[in-house]
Amino acid sequence: MQFIGGQKIHLIGIGGFGISAIARILLERGFTISGSDKNANALTEALGRDGATIYIGHATEYVHGADMVIRTSAVKDDHVEVAEANRLNIPVYKRQDILEPLMKNDYVVAIAGTHGKTTTTAMATHVLRHCEADPSYIVGGIMANTGTNAGVGKYEIFVIEADEYDNAFWGIPANLVVLTNIEYDHPDFFVNDTVMLDSFRKFLDCMRDHATLVACADSPLALKLANEQRAKGRTVYTYGIHQSADVMAKNIRIEGDKTHFDIVTDHPLHEMGKLVSSLTLSLIGEHNVQNALGALLVATTIYYTNFDRIPEAFETFKSTGRRFEIHGERDGIIVIDDYAHHPTAIKMTLEGAKMRYPNHTIWAVWQPHMYSRTSVLMEDYAHAFYAADNVVVTDIYAARENPIKEIDGAWTTEKISHSHKHYGGDLEATAQYLRNHIQAPAVVVIMSAGDAPKIGELLLT
């Protein structure tokens, strides 16, 4: 397939982060865009304001006149708009089908991993923009620095978050790949960790000739794949905190709401160690230091980067939505929204909360995401909450799944290894329990990939 100027393109599931980002790129490149989704949201509203035609709901006539249709992975072959497009011989593509033609003329930076890829992608994008190497970008969240999840830049550079679910990242022809870490996830798609790791291998096989791989040495599986690629002759650089790497962060220290650290490296690229000796982040946690190291290696690889502006770029970076996002404060109780839904992400988020607010009681409010993930990873979830003083678990957010017998919020709460835990039930009941039991000063960290941020809204009203 190919994109030709003047085409009309219809996108099914345009309210999702992945499809809405593609819609924005195409819209800014001058294509006529329409899209449908079952509900409106901030992404559809923004696209509508900027010139896209947005349909709420789905109907056969929405694809009429389109030159092609792009669908989200959640849309099946029997969807009414897909079926109508097929009847009319309008080509229908999945997201991964269109990534290569979308970026064929660009130097492509693809950032993949189980955790941290959204923050690292947003950070790399912001640093490049700040350092005069303005890229196009697709991020799996709303960047606070730009107010959107995608955009077209001045240069032929494209930074993209590479999503492993549904093997969506197989279509990315990368010149530079960052592997933030790899752990088993998405049991509803990857039947085991071997299948998942093979998917990452195939993604790396899609890299362009003479591509570079950057991997976090603190992640055993990411390091394993990096060593495999090095053995094949790829250029590989590593970064980390705890394991020996080409680029390392040392002397990490927290001062208020900022993290400071020094850069130690033998990395020859642009003599980076001489250019950047230390960095400051307006983010908390070792995981964000790791993210910054990955983004730093991206910035120092791009020829157009103004290296003198790198330290300022990192200090001015603001995280994406629902990544330790302060929702508000009321009567000495701070409410934070975070996207953490994997055991390791929960652990890192709560450790960061404890570092940032050492004199507050930390309340972890967790909405389990999907029955399969909760069941398969329960042993790891059980030990992920030690940095919290109290743990409250809601009902499971089903997402795209049907319930699994005997796997529910109460069962999940019982399995958690913590002396102060409570099953909250639905969102309203959970909010009421918190109102009745929290005493200031306290921090409520709501961890959810679903609709649990509503709890914070209820607490703050």
d(CA 450, CA 396): 9
d(CA 314, CA 130): 9
Q: Which of 161, 164, 286, 351 is catalytic?
A: 161
DSSP β-ladder status, 136-138 and 157-162: parallel
401 catalytic per annotation: no
Strand, coil or helix: 434: helix
Contact in structure between 74 and 95 (CB atoms under 8 Å):
no
Q: Which of 81, 117, 180, 374 is catalytic?
A: 117
In the sheet that holds 235-240, the strands lie side by side as: 150-151, 136-138, 157-162, 107-112, 176-179, 212-216, 235-240, 247-255, 258-265, 278-281
Contact in structure between 52 and 27 (CB atoms under 8 Å):
yes
Contacts of 167 (CB under 8 A, 6+ apart): 96, 199, 202, 203
Neighbours of 220 (CB within 10 A): 12
H or E element, residue 275: helix 272-275
Burial (0-12, 13-18, 19+ Cβ within 10 Å), 364? buried
H or E element, residue 366: strand 361-366
280 catalytic per annotation: no
Q: Which of 44, 114, 118, 344 is catalytic?
A: 118
- Establish whether the linkage from the previous residue to 441 is cis, with ω within 30° of 0: yes
118 catalytic per annotation: yes
In the sheet that holds 361-366, the strands lie side by side as: 325-330, 333-338, 442-447, 361-366, 390-394, 421-425
> How many Å is the Cα radius of gyration of the chain?
22
Name the residue among 280, 272, 264 with its Cα closest to residue 298: 272
- The b/e string for 112-148 (b: 16+ C-beta within 10 A; e otherwise) is bbbbbbbbbbbbbbbbbbbbebbbbbbbbbbbebbeb
Q: What is the DSSP string of 276-327?
A: -SEEEESS-SHHHHHHHHHHHHHHHHSTT--GGGHHHHHHT--PBTTSSEEE
- Supply the DSSP symbol for 25: H
d(CA 92, CA 35): 13
The CA–CA distances, whole Å, from 432 to 48, 254, 374 equal: 37, 34, 24
Residue numbers annotated as active site: 117-118, 161
